[in-house]
Amino acid sequence: MNVGIIGLGLIGGSFAKAFKENSDAIVFGHDTDKATVSYAWLSEMIDETLTDENIGECGLLIIALYPGDAVNFIKEKAHLISKNTLVIDACGTKRKVCEAGFAAARKYGFTFVGGHPMAGIQFSGIKHSRGDLFKGASMIIIPPSYDDITLFERIKNALAPARFGKLTISDAEKHDKIIAYTSQLAHVVSSAYIKSESAEVHHGYSAGSYKDMTRVATLNETMWTQLFLENRENLSDELGKLITELSKYKSALDANDHDTLKDLLREGRECKAKVEQNI
């Protein structure tokens, strides 16, 4: 099978490596950055450059771009995509991308599926890509319909070289609402937490909790700004809830209120235990 990957950053590059390492697919790659394409060639991550002339030869297309760029790519290139092609995006927000993808698929006859691999690291770029990045991870899938077993098998088989642990079926609205909490809020908190002056003198005074809190502060601000704004209503709602909870802890500390503080900590511990039981 010919696989086309649009965007050769961390995610796209990792898909390219996975297909090269775990299948006999011919990988076509495209990136607007020439140095990235050269690196992919030299690293033997791709076999060919993806062009307007050969995009129709791909049985699988993976769009690993920022959401706005993904929408533009779909609108500009959809007419070149074969009716036999499965197109899956890997963007961090889903509503606008899926709207554009489903509309283009209906018009031109190919199959579009929204996707979001639940895997990543705090670094970005092709040089940090890994062939095992997705191994055991969840891949969120937003299909055009929810009763097409043949399509689900097609998706599963197409993505097999990435070695995902499971496919999680969702819709675009649910995805964006939950991701605002599980991913985006964590990045906001990490980014804000590291801005304390105390961070400059943490050496010798920090351990695992500090590392956990600050790991994703090493983010790509260009990408995350777009993701946050694409999902601003959901993220703002989650951020407001967190601020409300944090204010309770501050009030208890300011009032030297032992009982309230203990209750807040107990509630947090019990919430964590309840969540873990539901996994």
Q: What mean pLDDT do residues 178-190 have?
A: 97
The CATH architecture that domain 175-277 belongs to is Orthogonal Bundle (1.10)
pLDDT of residue 221: 95
Q: What mean pLDDT do residues 131-149 have?
A: 96
Give yes or no for residue 279 having a pLDDT over 70.
Answer: no
CA dist., res. 159 & res. 25, Å (int)? 11
For residue 25, what is the DSSP state? P
Give yes or no for residue 121 having a pLDDT over 80.
Answer: no
CA dist., res. 158 & res. 74, Å (int)? 20
Residue 254 burial (10 A CB sphere; 0-12, 13-18, 19+):
exposed
Q: What mean pLDDT do residues 238-256 have?
A: 98
Q: In the chain, which residues fall in CATH 1.10.3660.10?
A: 175-277
Confidence of residue 257 (pLDDT cuts 50, 70, 90): very high
**CATH number for the 2-170 domain, one of 3.10.580.10, 3.40.50.720, 3.40.430.10, 2.40.160.60?**
3.40.50.720
Q: What residues contact residue 57 under an 8 Å CB cut-off, 6+ apart?
A: 2, 28, 82
Mean pLDDT (the chain, rounded) = 96
Work out the end-to-end distance of the chain between its first and last CA atoms, rounded to an integer number of angstroms: 36
For residue 134, what is the DSSP state? T
Q: In the chain, which residues fall in CATH 3.40.50.720?
A: 2-170
pLDDT of residue 207: 84
pLDDT in tens, 152-162: 999 999 999 99
Give yes or no for residue 77 having a pLDDT over 70.
Answer: yes
pLDDT in tens, 58-71: 999 999 999 999 99
Q: What mean pLDDT do residues 13-22 have?
A: 98
Decide: 242 and 185 in contact? Cβ < 8 Å.
yes
Helix axes 232-254, 185-193, angle to 10 degrees: 50
CA dist., res. 26 & res. 4, Å (int)? 8
Q: Model pTM?
A: 0.91
CA dist., res. 87 & res. 114, Å (int)? 8
Give yes or no for residue 244 having a pLDDT over 80.
Answer: yes
Residue 271 burial (10 A CB sphere; 0-12, 13-18, 19+):
exposed
